[in-house]
Structure 1
Amino acid sequence: MLFDCDGVLADSEGLVNRLVAEELTARGWPISAEQCRETFLGMALPAMLPVIEARVGRLPARWPEMLSVRIAAAMCREAEPVPGALEAVRAVAGAGLPVAVASNSARAELDAKLDRLGLAAFFAGRVFSFEDVARPKPAPDIYLAAALACGAAPGDCVVVEDSLLGVRAGVRAGCRVLGLTRESDASVLAAAGAEPFAAMAALPELLGLAAVAG
């Protein structure tokens, strides 16, 4: 079972978009958090940079690192789980299924989120950032790596995603993809090859598992 993080496990997209909006506005691109979501949803920092630099000019070489550090610090204080996500992970792990996280977040941000949510132990040794693969989503690399870490063929894996780029990555890897529509358009995810579902609380039932309370 392969999970995206932002918007699937961590209800963190609003926080990330706010911080990115603050950074870009300060650098001369007035942009709101909602506009950041529309522009960058699911994108890794390397893919964001050309878009940003087209508007603000050349960024300092260490800007991506500095932004990641700022986001990670905020996640340590403020990240909250997507409703039903903690219970869903416990149900999947409790059923004996191997689990992994595959995220277009930077490593520092990703580790901060999982620690804050108390999920790090579930995914120990199977946490993948865009920094761990040659190409970020929508390339399949990160989900192929996550499947390998779980000792499973991609075709035997289920991916949980909430972004178009993430769905495309899971489909290209050959996985079954479930598309969380909590804040995404079901028709867009379905058109990309996902099976839409509305809430993480429904995931155990979709997989034929009993939810684990607590």
Structure 2
Amino acid sequence: MTRTRRPAAVLFDCDGVLADSEGLVNRIVAEDLTMRGWRLTAEQAREEFLGLAAPDMLPMIEARVGPLPARWMHDLSRRIAAAMTAELEPVPGAAMALRAVAAAGLPVAVASNSARAELLAKLDRLGFADIFGDRVLCYEDVPAPKPAPDMYRAAAAACGVPAEACVVVEDSLIGCRAGIAAGCRVLGLTRETDAAVLAAVGAEPFARMEDLPLLLGLTETLA
């Protein structure tokens, strides 16, 4: 692996990058929609909604099951947050990688298409909340969620640096598109999406969070 120039800040997605949460979220979404008449497995829910914010899921779902209750997004978010508090584990290598980046003195932010309640529950459960401080962005904080660039531009601003000087760490096609549109260098973790798919939109695929410090020009691989 080749050493690279250190970025001014590192902007992390959460689900699938820091939090091994995709399976939990997809299970809850699949259960809810199956109850409403759209029979989905957790794997099918992943294929339909990977990387999407709830407001972008809404029209897709209503086209299949009809109008949803006014509090559907709120209630779904509460169920997901409760599951995260009880069951969530980190992505392998994520804790070591995140702490290595912070220890190197780089500002970090998290930018997720989750609702705020879900995102804070995940960070608290994983013990990452103190590392990010108030540099926590969700779809409720910006005019448009990913794949729009708004969230990563806001995350860079929260770190006090231009987006073009940042590295984004993502795992979904939608998230990689958001980082590229914001002008960031994007590293695409290949746990959920094929490397060729991420590379096609301009991301740099990588397979293990343990390799992140080296990819950022900080240190050797952690393991």
TM over 0.5: yes
Measured on the aligned residues, the alpha-carbon RMSD in Å equals: 1.1
1:208: how far off?
1.8
Tell me the residue number matched to 1:68.
Answer: 77
Instruction: State whether residues 198 and 205 of structure 2, in contact with CA within 8 Å, keep that contact through their aligned partners in structure 1.
Output: yes
Equivalent-residue separation in structure 2 for 1:160 and 1:59 (angstroms): 33
SS in 2 for 1:177: strand
SS in 1 for 2:179: helix
Equivalent-residue separation in structure 2 for 1:168 and 1:205 (angstroms): 23
1:184: how far off?
1.2
1:210: how far off?
3.0
1:25 aligned to 2:34? yes
Instruction: State whether residues 88 and 211 of structure 1, in contact with CA within 8 Å, keep that contact through their aligned partners in structure 2.
Output: no
Tell me the residue number matched to 1:125.
Answer: 134
Of the three residues 179, 184, 187, the one matched with 1:178 is 187
More RCO (CA 8 Å, sep 6+): 2
SS in 1 for 2:32: helix
SS in 2 for 1:209: coil
Q: Which runs of 5+ in 1 are unaligned?
A: none
SS in 1 for 2:99: helix
1:107 aligned to 2:126? no
Instruction: State whether residues 21 and 36 of structure 1, in contact with CA within 8 Å, keep that contact through their aligned partners in structure 2.
Output: yes
Written as runs of structure 1 = structure 2, the 5 A alignment for 1:1-214 is: 1-210=10-219
Q: Relative to structure 1, is the Cα distance of residues 212 and 200 closer, same or farther in structure 2, using a 3 angstrom cutoff? A: closer
Equivalent-residue separation in structure 2 for 1:212 and 1:73 (angstroms): 34
Instruction: Number of aligned residue pairs: give it.
Output: 213
SS in 1 for 2:191: coil
Quote the sequence identity (%): 72
Q: What TM-score do the two structures reach when normalised by structure 1?
A: 0.98
